[in-house]
Amino acid sequence: MFFVVSKLFWLVAQPISIVLLLIVLGSLLVAFGRRRLALAVLVLAIGVLGLASLTNFGAVIIRPLEERFAVPVLPERVDAIVMLGGATVSRISGARQTVAMTDAGERLSTTLWLALRFPQARIVLSGGGGLLSAEGESEAETARRFFVGLGIDEERLVLEGQSRNTIENARFTQSLLAETGGTTVLVTSAFHIPRSVGLFRAEAVSVLPWPTDFRSTGKESFGFDLADLGRNLDTTSTAMREWIGLTVYWATGQIETWFPAP
């Protein structure tokens, strides 16, 4: 139920949806003769869209998430590498039998680098489809194709293809890691590390966070950014979703602290 509610909530809470809903509301107000209120609502819609796409607002608010955990010093030994889903597009990958990557594709390359650096480590690929429908193959299966295709021994791979969100990533990999001692590295996007670490801690799984797929330079100060409006909008949406996720998970008792730290 939590998974379904979270998906439906984000369907209307992301910036582009907010803008569309405000436009619809403004149009209805015009139809009912409330022109001044309609104008205010439409101006608000323009303001939200402008803030999310014409400025670096997204990079500014995603920066604290990305800087919460630094890339660690390379350990002497790693016994398991857990890569969370989100790096591939299930429907396209399954239909084309390829590896269609999202903007988070760096999770795959970072995990590959660690796998080559620590050839004794098991590689746990955690990720189902992440969609309300069961369409497409699991992200774990797509990742398997990626690693095997690049020469990683398939016997090293442990597939967890049932999880639909980060809560289930942590819960379902806990049993897979029960027999693994030593150091377990957790690979996911830098903005996703705080929430992921909080959820793995809740499952009593000790991990060494390895952030990748950074969306900010770490030097942002708020201002206009007209280089890539679509990317600005996407970064804003990603940052908002992560901050909302942290707040909801903390409020519902699924993580112990609102903003998990090292």
- Contacts of residue 26, defined as CB under 8 A and 6 or more positions apart, other chains included, come to 38, 39, 41, 42, 45
The pair of structure tokens assigned to 107 is 């999770």
Count, in order, helices (H) and strands (E) of the chain: 10, 5
pLDDT, tens only, 144-177:
999 999 999 999 999 999 999 999 999 999 988 8
pTM value > 0.85? yes
Residue 136 has pLDDT above 80, yes or no: no
pLDDT, tens only, 78-87:
999 999 999 9
pLDDT, tens only, 167-224:
999 999 998 887 777 899 999 999 999 999 999 999 999 999 999 999 999 999 999 9
Q: What are the φ and ψ backbone dihedral angles of 249, each rounded to 5 degrees? A: -65, -40
What is residue 9's predicted lDDT score, i.e. its pLDDT? 84
Mean pLDDT estimate for the chain: 94
Beta carbons of 181 and 156 less than 8 angstroms apart: no
Integer Rg of the chain from CA: 20
Percent of the chain residues topping a pLDDT of 70: 97
Tokens 């050839």: give the residue. 119
